[in-house]
Structure 1
């Protein structure tokens, strides 16, 4: 089999595990996310545990990556080259946070929630994709 088939299978398996984890943790429910963000009301701390678990898994993965010469299914690692905190990063972070707080979704859970079939989820994903497309077109014309 070709390397692309293995890459596709690994990406699909990773996405399934990610979506399953989101489902088990209840993060496909926007009310749970909004409950976490409601620190002065009926605060729901469960998202903190999900985020903590994600940080631990990412930390272990980065440590393993540092010991590897190259990825198993790729020629090189694709790491960020910009490590500055600049205006585009701050604006993008603020927009991401606003969208997350208003909609109760970030991109991963939004796509995974499409499987539930709620109309507001589909609307959120369409708006998210439109925003991503608009950003790419504006950002590309900026340079």
Structure 2
């Protein structure tokens, strides 16, 4: 049942991205072009998404398990640190350059857009590089701790 629920949520999310225009990089780039021919329509999409997510998070805080029985796992970090800022900058730069962010890129790739496949490949490579650098940092930290 959990897989059916996950599939339904993913399908609804993907359809929402298509209907809203978020899977269209030209529309996204027009939204980001504040100095040119700005298209403010995605601001309404984002405001609606933030409102729905806010309600969802408020409800989630009152529960210990999801509707399908999975344990509730909400973020606990509250600190704004350099890693968060760097991640936001890299995300924003990628979004501004390509017109894709991860969710819409996957939807566009599934529809066969070559640019989306290139973005997804670069995104996966970036994720693999990050994981490798994290493992390397953990090994270095462990070595320096054991030598102390």
Select the residue among 50, 55, 59 that pairs with 2:50.
55
The residue number in structure 2 matching 1:142 is: 137
Normalised to the residue count of structure 1, the TM-score between the two structures is 0.91
Normalised to the residue count of structure 2, the TM-score between the two structures is 0.88
Q: Distance in 1 between matches of 2:41 and 2:70?
A: 38
Select the residue among 7, 13, 26 that pairs with 1:18.
13
Range 108-117 or range 98-107, more displaced: 108-117
CA RMSD in angstroms comes to 1.2
1:105 to 2:100 alignment: yes
Q: Distance in 2 between matches of 1:80 and 1:67?
A: 14
Larger radius of gyration: 2
Q: Distance in 1 between matches of 2:104 and 2:55?
A: 22
Aligned length: 138
Range 43-52 or range 70-79, more displaced: 70-79
1:42 to 2:37 alignment: yes
- Aligned structure 1 segments of 4 or more residues deviating by more than 3 angstroms: none
Q: Which structure has more RCO (C-alpha within 8 Å, separation ≥ 6)?
A: 1
Unaligned runs of 5+ in 2: 139-148
Range 58-67 or range 69-78, more displaced: 69-78
Unaligned runs of 5+ in 1: 1-5
Q: Distance in 2 between matches of 1:31 and 1:75?
A: 38
